[in-house]
Structure 1
Amino acid sequence: MPNEFTLATAVVLPAQSAVTHLYKGVNLADAFAIRLPPGASSDPDLLARFIFSHQPSWVRNLTGIRDIIVARFGLKTARHLATLASGAKADRVGIFKVYSTSETEIVLGEDDKHLDFRVSVLCSRGAADGRQLTISTVVHCHNLLGRAYLLVIAPFHRLVVKASLRRAARIGWPDAAVQRDI
């Protein structure tokens, strides 16, 4: 049953996020936030690794279907990106390249011939008392293929982000005292 710490909601892109004004033109910009319970880590790198390593199983299935389709267009597949991640753990979180890190935010993403995207995992003080974790995504398309891809994938993207936040909350966020061993 949902509670205040398992409810992921759509929010505006945080003004303090590095991705908010990254691209001159964006084809998708969204953000989803969830409250972090007391005692949960506020390390954005640790939280990002936790979220992306504990995604719902249906997300893996969707990713497999996506890979089959996009491989025909010569686009990067999750399988290909996973091979890059296995060789360089420090500069990737799961299949995503790390673009920047700070005390409160990690920016991940990938560039491809059809589009570039960035995902921000930002830990900040919420509007109410307490902390919140916000995942923001911005996408810049380069061509018609990118726009067509985004049209198909955007509804799934939103479901995946919200479900991933809820799943991480249900499993239990890493404790503030936990080291980065995820």
Structure 2
Amino acid sequence: MPLPSHTVHAVPLPRECSVADRYPHPDLADAYSIELPPGASQNPEELARFVFAHVPGWSRALMGLRDLLVAGLGLKTGAQLTATTPAQAAERVGFFRIYTRRADEIVLGEDDKHLDFRLSMLCSPSTATPRGRRLTLSTVVHCHNRLGRAYIFAIAPFHRRIVRACLRRAARIGWPAAAAA
């Protein structure tokens, strides 16, 4: 049984989330939330880098398979998106491009010929504990064509499992500590 701090909940897209209204009619929109323990970092970029640095091995294997399947379709692969210089790395989290940074949120994503997507990591007050914080990972996708819609249909169940697994794994490993004041 997972500890309460390791429980990931499906939640509505938070209103304060920058991606909530990104696309008028998204082809996929979901959000998952986890409570952060006292003393954990509240820096969304640091939390995003931590989460995506600790992706489960099975998820990396699925991404490798995805890259093999889509490369022939002319879609961007993880290898093509991965930063190769320190300057590029500062503008990416894993293979996700950084679009915006705020004190409470970072927005990541990518645009491709079949679809565009944005992912928000929002650190907000918890509703479960006084002065607590929670991290909500929200994803919205806009498809441009049939290939995009077929792609989302095929990967949506995996996406949901991967997001939950990434948040749970980060909690099990132990969130990065907040910077000393």
| TM value normalised by structure 2 | 0.95
Structure 2 residue matching 1:14: 3-state secondary structure: coil
Structure 2 residue matching 1:86: 3-state secondary structure: coil
Task: State the match for 1:31 in structure 2.
Answer: 31
Letter in structure 1 aligned against 2:143? C
Q: Which runs of 4+ in 1 moved over 4 A?
A: none
Structure 1 residue matching 2:127: 3-state secondary structure: coil
Task: State the match for 2:67 in structure 1.
Answer: 67
Structure 2 residue matching 1:147: 3-state secondary structure: helix
Structure 2 Cα separation of the partners of residues 61 and 81 of structure 1 = 17
Post-superposition offset of 1:131: 0.8
Letter in structure 2 aligned against 1:100? T
Structure 1 Cα separation of the partners of residues 103 and 13 of structure 2 = 18
Structure 2 Cα separation of the partners of residues 126 and 15 of structure 1 = 15
Letter in structure 1 aligned against 2:84? S
Which moves more between the two structures, 131-140 or 121-130?
Answer: 121-130
Matches within 5 A, 1:108-127: 108-127=108-127
For structure 1, the residue ranges without an aligned partner over 5 or more in a row are none
Post-superposition offset of 1:160: 0.2
Structure 2 Cα separation of the partners of residues 12 and 35 of structure 1 = 15
The alignment of Structure 1 onto Structure 2 pairs a total of residues equal to 176
Letter in structure 1 aligned against 2:144? H
Structure 2 Cα separation of the partners of residues 165 and 75 of structure 1 = 27
Q: Give % identity.
A: 59
**Any idea what the Cα deviations from partners look like across 1:59-111, whole Å, max 9, x if unmatched?**
110000000001011000011111xx122111111100000010000000000
CA RMSD of aligned residues (A): 0.9
- For residue 134 of structure 1, the aligned residue among 114, 133, 136 is 136
